[in-house]
Amino acid sequence: MAENDVLLALGNAPSRKEILAHWEPENEAFWNKYGKRIANQNLYTSTWALVLSFVVWTLWATIAAKLNTVGFHFSDEQIFTLAALPGLIGATGRLFYTYLPGLLGGKTSTLVTTALLLLPVIGLGNALQDTTTSYDTFVLLVAFIGIAGANFSASMANIGFFFPKANKGLALGINAGVGNLGVSLIYLTAPLLLGWNLSGLFGPGLLTADGSPLYLQNVCYFWAIPTVLTLVLIWLFMDNLPLPKQSPKSILSIFGNKHTWLMCWIYTCGFGSFIGFSAALGLLVAKEFPEVSFSMAAFLGPFIGASVRPLGGWLADKLNCGSRVTLLSLFVMLAASFAVLFGIQTHSFAVFFASFLLLFLTTGFVNGASFRMIPYIFNNPFHSSLVTGFTAAIAAYGAFLIPKIFGWSYASFQSVTPAFYILIAFTVSTILITWYFYDRQGSGIKC
Protein backbone atom coordinates (compact mmCIF):
# COMPACT_ATOMS: atom_id res chain seq x y z
CA MET A 1 0.00 0.00 0.00
CA ALA A 2 1.40 3.40 -0.99
CA GLU A 3 2.08 6.12 1.56
CA ASN A 4 -0.99 8.19 0.72
CA ASP A 5 -3.21 5.08 0.51
CA VAL A 6 -2.29 4.09 4.06
CA LEU A 7 -3.06 7.54 5.45
CA LEU A 8 -6.32 7.73 3.50
CA ALA A 9 -7.36 4.30 4.79
CA LEU A 10 -6.76 5.46 8.35
CA GLY A 11 -8.64 8.73 8.00
CA ASN A 12 -8.16 11.86 10.09
CA ALA A 13 -8.58 10.47 13.60
CA PRO A 14 -7.99 6.72 13.55
CA SER A 15 -8.24 4.70 16.71
CA ARG A 16 -5.22 2.88 18.09
CA LYS A 17 -6.78 -0.40 16.99
CA GLU A 18 -7.11 0.86 13.41
CA ILE A 19 -3.50 2.05 13.37
CA LEU A 20 -2.29 -1.34 14.58
CA ALA A 21 -4.38 -3.09 11.94
CA HIS A 22 -2.60 -1.07 9.20
CA TRP A 23 0.88 -1.34 10.74
CA GLU A 24 3.51 -0.48 8.10
CA PRO A 25 6.71 0.82 9.75
CA GLU A 26 8.60 0.92 6.44
CA ASN A 27 6.06 3.47 5.21
CA GLU A 28 7.74 6.76 6.15
CA ALA A 29 4.56 8.86 6.28
CA PHE A 30 2.78 6.29 8.45
CA TRP A 31 5.83 5.91 10.68
CA ASN A 32 6.24 9.62 11.34
CA LYS A 33 2.55 10.34 11.87
CA TYR A 34 1.44 7.27 13.85
CA GLY A 35 3.98 4.50 14.12
CA LYS A 36 6.89 6.04 15.98
CA ARG A 37 4.93 7.07 19.07
CA ILE A 38 3.23 3.69 19.50
CA ALA A 39 6.44 1.78 18.76
CA ASN A 40 8.36 3.77 21.36
CA GLN A 41 5.67 3.22 24.00
CA ASN A 42 5.91 -0.51 23.44
CA LEU A 43 9.70 -0.38 23.40
CA TYR A 44 10.03 1.50 26.69
CA THR A 45 7.49 -0.69 28.51
CA SER A 46 8.95 -3.89 27.09
CA THR A 47 12.42 -2.76 28.07
CA TRP A 48 11.48 -2.19 31.70
CA ALA A 49 9.72 -5.56 31.85
CA LEU A 50 12.92 -7.09 30.49
CA VAL A 51 15.01 -5.30 33.13
CA LEU A 52 12.81 -6.95 35.74
CA SER A 53 13.21 -10.34 34.07
CA PHE A 54 17.00 -10.08 34.20
CA VAL A 55 16.84 -9.02 37.84
CA VAL A 56 14.88 -12.16 38.71
CA TRP A 57 16.95 -14.41 36.44
CA THR A 58 20.24 -13.48 38.09
CA LEU A 59 19.19 -12.74 41.66
CA TRP A 60 20.26 -16.23 42.74
CA ALA A 61 23.85 -15.41 41.80
CA THR A 62 23.83 -12.74 44.52
CA ILE A 63 22.55 -15.21 47.13
CA ALA A 64 24.41 -18.45 46.31
CA ALA A 65 27.74 -17.55 47.90
CA LYS A 66 25.99 -16.54 51.14
CA LEU A 67 24.07 -19.78 51.81
CA ASN A 68 26.68 -21.65 53.84
CA THR A 69 27.50 -18.57 55.91
CA VAL A 70 24.03 -18.58 57.48
CA GLY A 71 23.61 -22.27 58.28
CA PHE A 72 22.97 -24.10 55.02
CA HIS A 73 25.38 -26.95 54.24
CA PHE A 74 25.93 -27.38 50.51
CA SER A 75 29.09 -28.52 48.71
CA ASP A 76 30.94 -26.39 46.14
CA GLU A 77 29.59 -28.63 43.39
CA GLN A 78 26.03 -28.14 44.62
CA ILE A 79 26.49 -24.37 44.84
CA PHE A 80 27.90 -24.15 41.29
CA THR A 81 25.08 -26.38 40.03
CA LEU A 82 22.46 -24.15 41.62
CA ALA A 83 24.17 -21.13 40.07
CA ALA A 84 23.99 -22.77 36.64
CA LEU A 85 20.38 -23.99 36.79
CA PRO A 86 18.63 -20.67 35.98
CA GLY A 87 20.73 -20.45 32.84
CA LEU A 88 19.79 -23.95 31.73
CA ILE A 89 16.06 -23.44 32.25
CA GLY A 90 16.08 -19.90 30.86
CA ALA A 91 17.88 -20.93 27.70
CA THR A 92 15.61 -23.91 27.11
CA GLY A 93 12.54 -21.79 27.78
CA ARG A 94 13.68 -19.30 25.18
CA LEU A 95 13.30 -21.96 22.50
CA PHE A 96 9.54 -21.89 23.18
CA TYR A 97 9.07 -18.28 24.25
CA THR A 98 10.31 -17.11 20.84
CA TYR A 99 6.93 -18.08 19.41
CA LEU A 100 4.73 -16.57 22.13
CA PRO A 101 4.23 -13.13 20.48
CA GLY A 102 2.98 -14.82 17.33
CA LEU A 103 0.63 -17.06 19.32
CA LEU A 104 -0.62 -14.67 22.01
CA GLY A 105 0.39 -11.19 20.87
CA GLY A 106 3.21 -9.07 22.26
CA LYS A 107 1.20 -7.41 25.03
CA THR A 108 -0.47 -10.62 26.20
CA SER A 109 2.74 -12.65 26.14
CA THR A 110 4.61 -9.97 28.12
CA LEU A 111 1.78 -9.78 30.65
CA VAL A 112 1.71 -13.56 31.20
CA THR A 113 5.46 -14.09 31.36
CA THR A 114 5.95 -11.19 33.77
CA ALA A 115 3.16 -12.40 36.06
CA LEU A 116 4.81 -15.84 36.25
CA LEU A 117 7.88 -14.25 37.88
CA LEU A 118 5.93 -13.79 41.11
CA LEU A 119 5.74 -17.53 41.77
CA PRO A 120 9.46 -18.40 42.08
CA VAL A 121 10.34 -15.08 43.72
CA ILE A 122 7.86 -15.56 46.56
CA GLY A 123 8.58 -19.29 46.84
CA LEU A 124 12.32 -18.78 47.11
CA GLY A 125 11.84 -15.99 49.64
CA ASN A 126 9.99 -18.47 51.85
CA ALA A 127 12.62 -21.20 51.44
CA LEU A 128 15.53 -18.92 52.34
CA GLN A 129 14.18 -18.30 55.82
CA ASP A 130 14.58 -21.94 56.89
CA THR A 131 18.03 -23.61 56.99
CA THR A 132 16.39 -27.04 56.96
CA THR A 133 15.13 -26.43 53.40
CA SER A 134 16.43 -29.34 51.35
CA TYR A 135 18.78 -29.12 48.40
CA ASP A 136 16.12 -30.69 46.16
CA THR A 137 13.68 -27.93 47.12
CA PHE A 138 16.23 -25.31 46.15
CA VAL A 139 16.84 -27.14 42.86
CA LEU A 140 13.14 -26.83 41.99
CA LEU A 141 12.81 -23.20 43.05
CA VAL A 142 16.06 -22.00 41.48
CA ALA A 143 15.20 -23.85 38.27
CA PHE A 144 11.80 -22.10 38.27
CA ILE A 145 13.60 -18.76 38.48
CA GLY A 146 15.10 -19.68 35.11
CA ILE A 147 11.81 -18.91 33.36
CA ALA A 148 12.68 -15.23 33.82
CA GLY A 149 15.56 -15.70 31.39
CA ALA A 150 13.19 -17.05 28.76
CA ASN A 151 11.35 -13.70 28.61
CA PHE A 152 14.17 -12.21 26.55
CA SER A 153 13.32 -14.20 23.41
CA ALA A 154 9.65 -13.29 23.54
CA SER A 155 10.50 -9.64 24.10
CA MET A 156 13.03 -9.43 21.27
CA ALA A 157 10.85 -11.39 18.87
CA ASN A 158 7.99 -8.97 19.55
CA ILE A 159 9.68 -5.59 19.57
CA GLY A 160 11.37 -6.01 16.19
CA PHE A 161 8.01 -5.96 14.40
CA PHE A 162 7.28 -2.41 15.58
CA PHE A 163 10.28 -0.73 13.91
CA PRO A 164 11.50 -0.17 10.34
CA LYS A 165 14.66 -1.99 9.34
CA ALA A 166 16.76 1.19 9.53
CA ASN A 167 15.88 1.58 13.22
CA LYS A 168 15.95 -2.05 14.31
CA GLY A 169 19.59 -2.03 15.41
CA LEU A 170 19.06 0.78 17.90
CA ALA A 171 15.60 -0.43 19.01
CA LEU A 172 16.76 -3.99 19.63
CA GLY A 173 19.91 -2.63 21.24
CA ILE A 174 17.87 -0.51 23.67
CA ASN A 175 15.47 -3.34 24.48
CA ALA A 176 18.24 -5.86 25.04
CA GLY A 177 20.92 -3.54 26.40
CA VAL A 178 18.80 -1.71 28.95
CA GLY A 179 17.11 -5.02 29.72
CA ASN A 180 20.52 -6.54 30.43
CA LEU A 181 21.04 -3.79 33.00
CA GLY A 182 18.84 -5.85 35.26
CA VAL A 183 21.92 -7.99 35.92
CA SER A 184 23.89 -5.04 37.27
CA LEU A 185 20.80 -3.69 39.08
CA ILE A 186 20.43 -6.85 41.16
CA TYR A 187 24.17 -6.91 41.90
CA LEU A 188 23.96 -3.26 42.99
CA THR A 189 20.88 -3.61 45.19
CA ALA A 190 21.45 -7.08 46.67
CA PRO A 191 24.18 -6.06 49.17
CA LEU A 192 21.87 -3.33 50.48
CA LEU A 193 18.86 -5.62 50.70
CA LEU A 194 20.85 -8.40 52.39
CA GLY A 195 21.72 -6.10 55.29
CA TRP A 196 18.48 -4.12 55.46
CA ASN A 197 16.28 -5.09 58.40
CA LEU A 198 12.81 -5.33 56.88
CA SER A 199 11.72 -8.08 59.26
CA GLY A 200 8.40 -6.36 59.82
CA LEU A 201 7.57 -6.90 56.15
CA PHE A 202 9.66 -9.84 54.97
CA GLY A 203 10.50 -11.84 58.11
CA PRO A 204 13.60 -12.17 60.32
CA GLY A 205 17.08 -12.77 59.01
CA LEU A 206 19.48 -15.67 59.56
CA LEU A 207 22.63 -15.26 61.64
CA THR A 208 26.17 -15.62 60.29
CA ALA A 209 29.05 -17.14 62.30
CA ASP A 210 29.86 -13.76 63.86
CA GLY A 211 26.25 -13.23 64.95
CA SER A 212 25.28 -10.59 62.37
CA PRO A 213 21.98 -11.10 60.52
CA LEU A 214 21.59 -11.58 56.77
CA TYR A 215 18.16 -11.09 55.21
CA LEU A 216 18.43 -13.36 52.16
CA GLN A 217 14.68 -13.32 51.58
CA ASN A 218 14.73 -9.53 51.08
CA VAL A 219 16.38 -9.97 47.68
CA CYS A 220 13.38 -12.02 46.57
CA TYR A 221 10.43 -10.38 48.27
CA PHE A 222 11.50 -6.82 47.45
CA TRP A 223 11.35 -7.44 43.70
CA ALA A 224 7.81 -8.79 43.89
CA ILE A 225 6.61 -5.22 44.39
CA PRO A 226 7.89 -3.71 41.09
CA THR A 227 6.73 -6.88 39.34
CA VAL A 228 3.13 -6.12 40.27
CA LEU A 229 3.51 -2.46 39.23
CA THR A 230 5.03 -3.56 35.90
CA LEU A 231 1.95 -5.63 35.11
CA VAL A 232 -0.08 -2.40 35.27
CA LEU A 233 2.31 -0.64 32.88
CA ILE A 234 2.14 -3.52 30.40
CA TRP A 235 -1.65 -3.42 30.46
CA LEU A 236 -1.71 0.34 29.83
CA PHE A 237 1.05 0.90 27.30
CA MET A 238 1.71 -2.23 25.24
CA ASP A 239 -0.12 -3.57 22.17
CA ASN A 240 -0.81 -6.80 20.34
CA LEU A 241 0.23 -6.35 16.72
CA PRO A 242 -1.71 -8.45 14.20
CA LEU A 243 1.28 -10.66 13.36
CA PRO A 244 1.10 -12.97 10.35
CA LYS A 245 0.25 -16.58 11.12
CA GLN A 246 2.92 -18.87 9.79
CA SER A 247 2.75 -22.57 9.05
CA PRO A 248 4.98 -25.02 10.96
CA LYS A 249 6.87 -25.56 7.71
CA SER A 250 7.64 -21.84 7.48
CA ILE A 251 8.79 -21.79 11.11
CA LEU A 252 11.00 -24.84 10.70
CA SER A 253 12.61 -23.42 7.57
CA ILE A 254 14.99 -21.28 9.63
CA PHE A 255 16.67 -24.41 10.95
CA GLY A 256 17.72 -25.48 7.47
CA ASN A 257 19.51 -22.19 6.88
CA LYS A 258 23.18 -22.31 7.82
CA HIS A 259 23.14 -18.62 8.80
CA THR A 260 20.75 -19.41 11.67
CA TRP A 261 23.42 -21.60 13.23
CA LEU A 262 26.30 -19.28 12.38
CA MET A 263 24.54 -16.37 14.09
CA CYS A 264 23.84 -18.62 17.09
CA TRP A 265 27.58 -19.27 17.34
CA ILE A 266 28.49 -15.58 17.07
CA TYR A 267 25.83 -14.35 19.48
CA THR A 268 26.69 -17.06 21.99
CA CYS A 269 30.24 -15.74 22.09
CA GLY A 270 28.83 -12.32 22.98
CA PHE A 271 25.74 -12.82 25.09
CA GLY A 272 26.68 -16.27 26.35
CA SER A 273 29.88 -14.77 27.74
CA PHE A 274 28.03 -11.78 29.19
CA ILE A 275 25.42 -13.76 31.09
CA GLY A 276 27.72 -16.66 31.96
CA PHE A 277 30.38 -14.41 33.46
CA SER A 278 27.66 -12.43 35.26
CA ALA A 279 26.42 -15.63 36.88
CA ALA A 280 29.86 -16.98 37.79
CA LEU A 281 32.02 -13.93 38.50
CA GLY A 282 31.18 -13.65 42.21
CA LEU A 283 31.99 -17.33 42.79
CA LEU A 284 35.16 -17.03 40.69
CA VAL A 285 36.41 -14.09 42.76
CA ALA A 286 35.60 -15.95 45.98
CA LYS A 287 37.74 -18.88 44.78
CA GLU A 288 40.67 -16.96 43.31
CA PHE A 289 40.76 -13.82 45.48
CA PRO A 290 39.12 -14.73 48.82
CA GLU A 291 40.84 -11.78 50.48
CA VAL A 292 38.90 -9.31 48.28
CA SER A 293 35.54 -7.88 49.36
CA PHE A 294 33.76 -7.92 46.02
CA SER A 295 30.04 -7.54 46.70
CA MET A 296 29.78 -3.79 46.06
CA ALA A 297 31.83 -3.97 42.84
CA ALA A 298 30.11 -7.01 41.30
CA PHE A 299 27.61 -4.84 39.40
CA LEU A 300 30.25 -2.98 37.37
CA GLY A 301 30.96 -5.60 34.72
CA PRO A 302 27.32 -6.36 33.87
CA PHE A 303 26.55 -2.63 34.00
CA ILE A 304 29.25 -1.83 31.43
CA GLY A 305 28.31 -4.72 29.14
CA ALA A 306 24.62 -3.85 29.18
CA SER A 307 25.15 -0.09 28.84
CA VAL A 308 27.23 -0.29 25.67
CA ARG A 309 24.95 -2.78 23.94
CA PRO A 310 22.71 -0.05 22.46
CA LEU A 311 25.91 1.71 21.37
CA GLY A 312 26.97 -1.43 19.53
CA GLY A 313 23.65 -1.50 17.67
CA TRP A 314 23.79 2.24 16.98
CA LEU A 315 27.38 2.05 15.69
CA ALA A 316 26.46 -0.85 13.42
CA ASP A 317 23.56 1.23 12.05
CA LYS A 318 25.78 4.28 11.50
CA LEU A 319 28.54 2.33 9.78
CA ASN A 320 25.98 0.14 7.99
CA CYS A 321 28.19 -2.82 8.85
CA GLY A 322 27.34 -4.87 11.91
CA SER A 323 29.83 -7.57 10.93
CA ARG A 324 32.79 -5.16 11.10
CA VAL A 325 31.83 -3.88 14.56
CA THR A 326 31.34 -7.47 15.70
CA LEU A 327 34.69 -8.63 14.30
CA LEU A 328 36.73 -5.81 15.84
CA SER A 329 35.01 -6.31 19.19
CA LEU A 330 35.82 -10.02 19.10
CA PHE A 331 39.53 -9.27 18.65
CA VAL A 332 39.46 -7.05 21.74
CA MET A 333 37.51 -9.75 23.60
CA LEU A 334 40.24 -12.25 22.77
CA ALA A 335 42.96 -9.96 24.13
CA ALA A 336 40.92 -9.28 27.27
CA SER A 337 40.49 -13.03 27.87
CA PHE A 338 44.23 -13.55 27.83
CA ALA A 339 44.64 -10.62 30.22
CA VAL A 340 42.06 -12.06 32.65
CA LEU A 341 43.94 -15.36 32.64
CA PHE A 342 47.21 -13.53 33.25
CA GLY A 343 45.65 -11.73 36.23
CA ILE A 344 44.56 -15.07 37.71
CA GLN A 345 47.92 -16.75 37.16
CA THR A 346 49.86 -13.84 38.70
CA HIS A 347 47.24 -13.38 41.44
CA SER A 348 46.81 -9.72 40.53
CA PHE A 349 43.25 -8.67 41.28
CA ALA A 350 43.79 -5.27 39.64
CA VAL A 351 44.78 -6.88 36.32
CA PHE A 352 42.06 -9.52 36.64
CA PHE A 353 39.23 -7.07 37.36
CA ALA A 354 40.30 -4.41 34.84
CA SER A 355 40.55 -7.07 32.15
CA PHE A 356 37.17 -8.49 33.09
CA LEU A 357 35.60 -5.05 32.77
CA LEU A 358 37.09 -4.80 29.27
CA LEU A 359 35.73 -8.27 28.53
CA PHE A 360 32.23 -7.18 29.58
CA LEU A 361 32.59 -4.04 27.44
CA THR A 362 33.35 -6.08 24.34
CA THR A 363 30.41 -8.44 24.94
CA GLY A 364 28.12 -5.41 24.82
CA PHE A 365 29.44 -4.33 21.43
CA VAL A 366 29.25 -7.88 20.05
CA ASN A 367 25.69 -8.29 21.30
CA GLY A 368 24.39 -5.04 19.85
CA ALA A 369 26.17 -5.32 16.52
CA SER A 370 25.47 -9.01 15.90
CA PHE A 371 21.74 -8.62 16.51
CA ARG A 372 21.72 -5.84 13.96
CA MET A 373 23.18 -8.30 11.41
CA ILE A 374 20.18 -10.63 11.55
CA PRO A 375 17.55 -8.46 9.73
CA TYR A 376 20.05 -7.97 6.88
CA ILE A 377 20.83 -11.66 6.58
CA PHE A 378 17.16 -12.70 6.76
CA ASN A 379 15.07 -10.34 4.65
CA ASN A 380 11.76 -11.90 5.67
CA PRO A 381 10.71 -9.96 8.82
CA PHE A 382 9.01 -13.01 10.34
CA HIS A 383 12.05 -15.23 9.80
CA SER A 384 14.29 -12.46 11.12
CA SER A 385 12.19 -12.30 14.28
CA LEU A 386 12.33 -16.07 14.77
CA VAL A 387 16.09 -16.20 14.23
CA THR A 388 16.52 -13.32 16.70
CA GLY A 389 14.61 -15.25 19.33
CA PHE A 390 16.29 -18.57 18.55
CA THR A 391 19.83 -17.19 18.70
CA ALA A 392 18.95 -15.54 22.00
CA ALA A 393 17.81 -18.93 23.28
CA ILE A 394 20.96 -20.77 22.28
CA ALA A 395 23.25 -18.01 23.60
CA ALA A 396 21.54 -18.09 27.00
CA TYR A 397 23.02 -21.53 27.61
CA GLY A 398 26.17 -19.59 28.44
CA ALA A 399 24.59 -18.86 31.83
CA PHE A 400 24.60 -22.62 32.43
CA LEU A 401 27.77 -23.67 30.62
CA ILE A 402 30.27 -21.14 31.98
CA PRO A 403 29.59 -21.86 35.68
CA LYS A 404 29.62 -25.59 34.89
CA ILE A 405 32.90 -25.30 32.95
CA PHE A 406 34.45 -23.42 35.87
CA GLY A 407 33.17 -26.06 38.30
CA TRP A 408 34.49 -28.89 36.10
CA SER A 409 37.87 -27.19 35.76
CA TYR A 410 38.27 -26.77 39.52
CA ALA A 411 37.10 -30.34 40.19
CA SER A 412 39.36 -31.89 37.54
CA PHE A 413 42.47 -29.70 37.64
CA GLN A 414 42.15 -27.63 40.85
CA SER A 415 42.54 -24.61 38.57
CA VAL A 416 40.30 -22.46 36.37
CA THR A 417 43.00 -22.11 33.66
CA PRO A 418 41.72 -25.00 31.47
CA ALA A 419 38.26 -23.41 31.46
CA PHE A 420 39.69 -20.18 30.07
CA TYR A 421 41.60 -22.08 27.38
CA ILE A 422 38.26 -23.49 26.21
CA LEU A 423 36.65 -20.04 26.18
CA ILE A 424 39.61 -18.53 24.33
CA ALA A 425 39.43 -21.25 21.66
CA PHE A 426 35.72 -20.52 21.27
CA THR A 427 36.44 -16.82 20.74
CA VAL A 428 39.06 -17.61 18.07
CA SER A 429 36.57 -19.81 16.19
CA THR A 430 33.97 -17.01 16.34
CA ILE A 431 36.45 -14.53 14.85
CA LEU A 432 37.08 -16.89 11.94
CA ILE A 433 33.36 -17.46 11.33
CA THR A 434 32.51 -13.74 11.45
CA TRP A 435 35.30 -12.84 9.06
CA TYR A 436 34.80 -15.65 6.54
CA PHE A 437 31.02 -15.59 6.23
CA TYR A 438 30.20 -11.93 6.79
CA ASP A 439 33.10 -9.47 6.80
CA ARG A 440 35.56 -10.54 4.11
CA GLN A 441 35.28 -9.20 0.60
CA GLY A 442 33.37 -11.68 -1.47
CA SER A 443 31.36 -13.11 1.40
CA GLY A 444 28.22 -12.19 -0.50
CA ILE A 445 26.40 -10.72 2.51
CA LYS A 446 26.54 -7.12 3.66
CA CYS A 447 25.21 -6.95 7.19
Q: Is 206 helix (H, G, I), strand (E, B) or coil?
A: strand
At residue 203, the pLDDT reads 87
Task: Go through 146-179 and write b for each residue having 16 or more CB atoms within 10 A of its CB, e for each that does not.
Answer: bbbbbbbbbbbbbbbbbbbbebbbbbbbbbbbbb
| Domain limits, the chain | 29-439
Residue 234 and residue 125: Cα distance in Å, rounded?
A: 25
Burial class (CB in 10 A: 0-12, 13-18, 19+), 102: buried
Q: Residue 224 has what pLDDT?
A: 94
136 Cβ contact partners less than 8 Å away, ≥ 6 residues apart: none
Question: With b meaning 16 or more CB within 10 Å and e meaning fewer, what string describes 238-252?
Answer: bbbbebeebeeeebe
Q: Identify the pLDDT of residue 82.
A: 87
Query: What local confidence, expressed as pLDDT, does residue 2 receive?
Result: 54
Residue 245: the pLDDT is 64
pLDDT at 280: 85
- 220 near 122, Cβ under 8 Å? yes
Cross-strand bridge partners of residue 206? 214
Q: Model's pTM, two decimal places?
A: 0.83
CA distances from 160 to 117, 276, 307 (A): 23, 25, 20
Decide yes or no: CATH 1.20.1250.20 for domain 29-439. Answer: yes
pLDDT along the chain (447 residues), means of 10: 64 83 88 92 96 93 87 84 88 87 91 96 94 93 93 87 84 85 91 88 86 91 96 96 70 87 96 90 88 84 90 87 95 97 96 96 94 88 81 88 89 93 98 96 86
What's the pLDDT score for residue 118? Answer: 96
pLDDT at res. 8: 62
